[in-house]
Structure 1
Amino acid sequence: MDGVHTAQVIAVTGGKGGVGKTTVAVNLSLALAELGRRVVLLDGNLGLANIDALLGLAPQYTLADLIEGRCELSDVLVRGPGGVQIVPAASGIRSMVHLSPAQHAGLIQAFSEIGDSVDVLVIDTAAGIGASVVSFVRAAQEVLLVVCDEPTSITDAYALIKLLNRDYGMNHFRVLANMAQSPQEGRNLFAKLTKVTERFLDVTLQYVGAVPYDENVRKAVQNQRAIYENFPRSKSAQAFQAIALKVDAWPLPGDPRGHVEFFLEQRIKKVREGDSPR
């Protein structure tokens, strides 16, 4: 073993807005940090930042400053609850919504400077299937699709899977049911999604679990805190704890896949030195 470090990269996405992607990304990050992992949480909603608002943070720098060359990535990092390091996005800056492919690649490559000090990078993507969503999802190792019990949630999740499969050859997705009224509802949502993907696409979906509907989530948002921190004994916090244990067991990234990826330099170094990533 040469000791070259490999980080797990998880894109939390879903196609539709309002399914609770940010809540999932934040609380999963906290649950992973509690397991002793060094977690960085990236607000991938580049032009409409929401993680800093959700957690009551007041960042000095944002990704806009990084892209404009005013600072390094290490300057942008803000310490959040549970020791999670947060990379805040900009708010209300139109140019951030329309980054060029080269700017997206540069942003992803900038994370290499912190690669040795990160165990897990969680990306909270924007809603929709725009360029930034596709860029972040393709650059991640794992795609965690968040769905809820709304017809448009399943439709939009399917549209995102179809786009990523048809245009970019991605065929492995993990699914999390959010705001579920019961464990069975979560499994039913997964079954609905797999029914259409199995019929029309050559993809593999894996069910991660369900986060129950919990009134405490709304209260935590009003308090500008994560539910995992604000109501640690709530049913949704316990669900995130169980999901984090599953996520922590996911395999680490393998060989480079031939396009822009987070922490690519570390993995290329592993391959060159003959130590295939575990």
Structure 2
Amino acid sequence: MPTSTLAAPRRPRHGAAIPQVLSVTSGKGGVGKTNLSVNLAYSLSRMGRRVVLLDADLGLANVDILLGLTPTMNLFHLFHEGVDLRQVLMETPYGFSILPASSGVSDMLALSTGQKLDLLEAMDYLEGQIDYLIVDTGAGINDNVIYFNLAARERLLVLTTEPTSLTDAYALVKVMHVHHDVHRFRVVVNMAPSLKAAKAVYEKLSTACDHFLSGISLDFTGIVPVDPAVKNAVIRQKPFCHLTPDAPASKKLMELAQTIDSWDVDAKLDGNIKFFWKKLLFQEQPLA
């Protein structure tokens, strides 16, 4: 596979000296998290940003499937065959690159501390070359999910209006807050039937956090409405923002991308991805 090259941005990102590391996460599967990640990567790249999308659902990867791509290498080869990250990094036809993972490989379900070190060492290649690293986590609260959420500067928590989505999202917030001292989450309600319904489910989560957890900040960041264009794009294995840019879901996704692009990157945190991730491995409470 040819080495991926990351195009220069057409205009500077807000706080561009420090790359934004953003996880897209959820308490449960089936909330459209990966589809949102793919279309967010597409929308940011349309704004001239240099974007890499990391498929961090390491044992059940599907970013490549949503894009209709067939990578010849993935993160399994990085961990088990010693290939270079540049061989895994794959350009897409949509202006951003992906780091694909494997599917159905049990060895990838829980990274060892050594593998986490291998990954952050490999990420050296991206330093200074990207504006955004979007991390599409797995669902739930397993070790990999927690690790990648801790590695992110911002966490985009994806909800739907289903009660199970709400309870599982609360469980993730609780674990991240109580055991890892994470205080802030950005909330997006996906597949929302209306703005009213989206705000109602956000308020329920916010109320539960205020009542049972102290010091949590939940920011209502946006919604993506129910839209038949989304299902059609999944069937065609293309980003819905690319196929139908004027569809309601596409417009809201672009609004979300613009909101994210306006965020300041916390200057208190080092912009070096390797440094930021390495400190996770030497906490008093190890992740592996």
Q: Secondary structure at the match of 1:107?
A: helix
1:170–1:109: structure 2 CA closer, same or farther, 3 Å change rule?
A: farther
- TM-score normalised according to structure 1 size: 0.90
The structural deviation recorded for 1:4 is 9.5
Task: Supply the distance in 1 between the matched residues of 2:145 and 2:239 (Cα, whole angstroms).
Answer: 23
Summarize the Cα distance change of 1:256–1:147 in structure 2 as closer, same or farther, 3 Å threshold.
same
User: In the alignment, what sits opposite 2:265?
Assistant: 252
Other-structure match for 1:230: 243
Kept in 1: contact 2:269–2:276 (CA 8 A): no
Q: What displacement does 1:69 show?
A: 4.0
Identity of aligned residues (%): 40
Q: 1:172 to 1:262 in 2, by over 3 A?
A: farther
Show the counterpart of 1:12.
24
Alignment-derived partner of residue 178 in structure 1: 190
Is the CA contact (8 Å cut-off) linking 1:7 and 1:119 kept in structure 2?
yes
- Specify whether residues 159 and 91 from structure 1 end up closer, same or farther in structure 2 by C-alpha distance, changes over 3 A only: same
3-state SS, counterpart of residue 68 of structure 1 = helix
CA distances 1:190-243 after superposition (whole Å, capped 9, x unpaired): 101101000011210001011000111111011011101111111100000101
CA distance in 2: counterparts of 1:183 and 1:19, whole angstroms: 17
Which is further off, 64-73 or 122-131? 64-73
Match of 2:116, SS state, is helix
Give the match's secondary structure for 1:176. strand
State the 1:267 CA deviation: 11
Does 2:253 correspond to 1:240?
Answer: yes
Q: 1:65·1:71 contact (CA, 8 Å) conserved in 2?
A: yes
> Residues 262 and 92 of structure 1: is their aligned pair in 2 closer, same or farther, counting only changes over 3 Å?
farther
Q: How many Å apart are 1:32 and its aligned residue?
A: 0.7
Say whether 1:216 aligns with 2:226: no
- CA distance in structure 1 between the aligned counterparts of 2:275 and 2:16, rounded to whole angstroms: 10
Other-structure match for 1:31: 43
Q: CA 1:156–1:266 in 2, change beyond 3 Å: closer, same or farther?
A: closer
1:61 lines up with 2:48 in the alignment? no
The two structures have a TM-score, normalised by structure 2, of 0.87
Partner of 1:43: 55
Write the distance in 2 (CA, Å) between the matches of 1:218 and 1:240.
15
Q: 2: distance between equivalents of 1:108 and 1:185?
A: 40
Root-mean-square deviation over aligned CA pairs: 2.0
Specify the SS of the correspondent of 1:177. Answer: strand
- Give the SS at the match of 1:152: helix
Give the letter aligned to residue 168 of structure 1: H
Quote the Cα distance in structure 1 between the aligned partners of 2:113 and 2:130: 25
Stretch of structure 1 that moved more, 128-137 or 182-191? 182-191
CA shift in 2, pair 1:37/1:106, >3 Å: same
Describe the SS at the equivalent of 2:125: helix
Deviates more, 1:241-250 or 1:70-79: 70-79
What letter matches 1:126 in structure 2? Answer: G
Distance in 2, Cα, partners of 1:252 & 1:227? 28
Partner secondary structure for residue 24 of structure 2: strand
Question: Which residue is 1:196 aligned to?
Answer: 208
Structure 2 distance, partners of 1:81, 1:4, is 24
The one-letter amino acid of 1:234's match is A
Look up the SS of the partner of 1:117 in the other structure: coil
More displaced stretch, 128-137 vs 3-12: 3-12
For residues 25 and 243 of structure 2, the distance between their equivalents in structure 1, rounded to whole angstroms, comes to 24
- Conserved in 1, the CA contact under 8 Å of 2:120 and 2:274? no
What amino acid sits opposite 1:231 in the alignment?
T
| Distance of 2:118 and 2:277 partners within structure 1 | 17
Alignment gaps of 5+ in structure 2: 1-14, 279-288
Gaps in structure 1 of 5+ consecutive residues? 269-278
